[in-house]
Amino acid sequence: MNQAIQSALISVFYKDGLEPIVKALHQQGTTLYSTGGTRAFIEQLGLPCVAVEDLTHYPSILGGRVKTLHPKVFGGILARRELAEDMAELAQYEIPTFDLVMVDLYPFDETVAQGGTSEEIIEKIDIGGVSLIRAAAKNHAHCCIVSNRNQYPSFLAMIQAQGGSRLDQRRALAAEAFQETSRYDRSIAAWFAGESSMSLRYGENPHQKGIFEGNLGAIFQKIQGKELSYNNLLDVDAALNLLQEFPSGDDKTFIIIKHNNACGVASRPTVLQAWKDALACDPVSAFGGILAVNGEIDAESAREIHGLFFEVLMAESFSPEALAILSAKENRILLSLKPGFHLSQEIRRTALNGFLVQDRDARSENRNEMKPVTQAQPSPAQFEDLEFALKLAKQTKSNTIVLCKNKQLLASGTGQTSRVDALQQAIEKANRFGFDLEGAVMASDAFFPFPDCVEIADKAGITAVVQPGGSIKDQASIDYCNANGMAMVTTGVRHFKH
């Protein structure tokens, strides 16, 4: 059923597109109520307009901070017209009903983007506007809410065609209104938390737009280089997720990331040796990669790294000599990691017409959580390699197989539709770069339901395996290992990554 608009409260920051709407409302006999600049705009068009101050008998105070926050305004918006008690109270206190509220919000995001001062930004935190929008949206059974200037054309077409609004239309506008206030509040909360919205050169591809919302300054300090791109940030995130698996200690771990997956990882007593052995994993894929290390880049390491084209290098610190060497190429992005930085503990991604949200996979298994399930037992060195390999498998796209030896990534199969394919890809790659797989270990992101993978691994020289297990389904793989002298341990925890 169509509801006519007999009275409307209009108070907007942006006036473009407003003129035809207020003229159409006036022609339909709507009583217009307004404040400040909007009221002046309506009156300049030669249209009658009731000042909200005349309704409330209170002027706008505190420099405009308080204008509409009054029972005579909110009572007329929130009254339940089907309830006699509500309507009796409106009559008692001489409060008019409002069939339409047109309110937009102060330009908070725009003020932040323009580099406004804290005082200017805080003044653009809308109070009354948000309250009016929420009130009208809540009472959409009786009140229509227009909360964004982008709705003006469709709203104008609606009232011109219908002379009012239907309940389904008001409900749809109410949903948009709550989305508007939710987005607005998120922007304000992010600003107070030190986060910001940063426009990127483009998205994943040049024809896509991209932005980053967050607080990069809490994770690293940018020393030099071009602006970080959308793809850079994805790879930086992948590198830091993996780097956090290796706390800074006696060994230094160097990581090379390409397209979100590790193509080189090694843990060694020095940064220089860790770099050399990480690069040896796959020097071809390392070209244009993202580099990260849990230590300081010194001059000797910088001279070695300087010869490779890379996009980003992250380290705990850089010596002055190292910076002098690496900064010779001004587009290189050099990032100094903040001590104890924290990544988001929540992972969000779009799916269908909504979002999937999950906790970050913070579980990492060590030797004490590895259960031997075969007669052969891993040696102490193999246990170290199995723990090392499992960390890599956790941070590699599924289906994945990771091959390691002496705390060095030899090769991995990533993002395959079967683990057999992933294993064969890893073995072929290790052989191509001249690695000896004899005595290497293998990690999988999930259990082996058939013995085919352990058979292939055995023939390649791999002697120890770690897999999420504990199921009767993997008994065939265990039986094969027992018959052929391979060691297998299970963790009971899988680490899928899509």
Active centre residues (catalytic): 138, 259
Would you say 66 and 60 are in contact if contact means Cβ atoms under 8 Å apart?
Answer: yes
Instruction: Please give the C-alpha separations between residue 379 and each of 23, 121, 168, 385, 490, in angstroms, as whole numbers.
Output: 85, 61, 69, 10, 15
Bridge partners, residue 467, by sequence: 490
User: Amino acid letter at 478?
Assistant: I
In the block, residue with structure tokens 């503990």: 345
Here the tokens at position 86 are 């509500």
Q: Which residues contact 204 (CB under 8 A, 6 or more apart)?
A: 210, 230, 231
- CA–CA–CA angle 375, 376, 382 (5° rounding): 145
Closest CA to 453 of 476, 472, 470: 476
Q: CA 145 to CA 12: how far, in whole Å?
A: 12
Contacts by residues 298-303 (CB-CB < 8 Å, ≥ 24 positions apart): 298/271, 298/272, 298/322, 299/325, 300/272, 301/271, 301/272, 301/275, 302/326
Here the tokens at position 397 are 């796209």
Phi, psi of 12 (to 5 degrees): -130, 150
Q: Which residues contact 119 (CB under 8 A, 6 or more apart)?
A: none
Q: Which residues contact 498 (CB under 8 A, 6 or more apart)?
A: 397, 398
Phi, psi of 324 (to 5 degrees): -60, -35
Closest CA to 491 of 390, 400, 414: 390
Q: CA 21 to CA 139: how far, in whole Å?
A: 22
Write the DSSP string, 378-445. Answer: --HHHHHHHHHHHHHHHTSPSS-EEEESSSBEEEEE-S-SSHHHHHHHHHHHHHHTT---TT-EEEES
Start-to-end C-alpha separation, the chain? 48
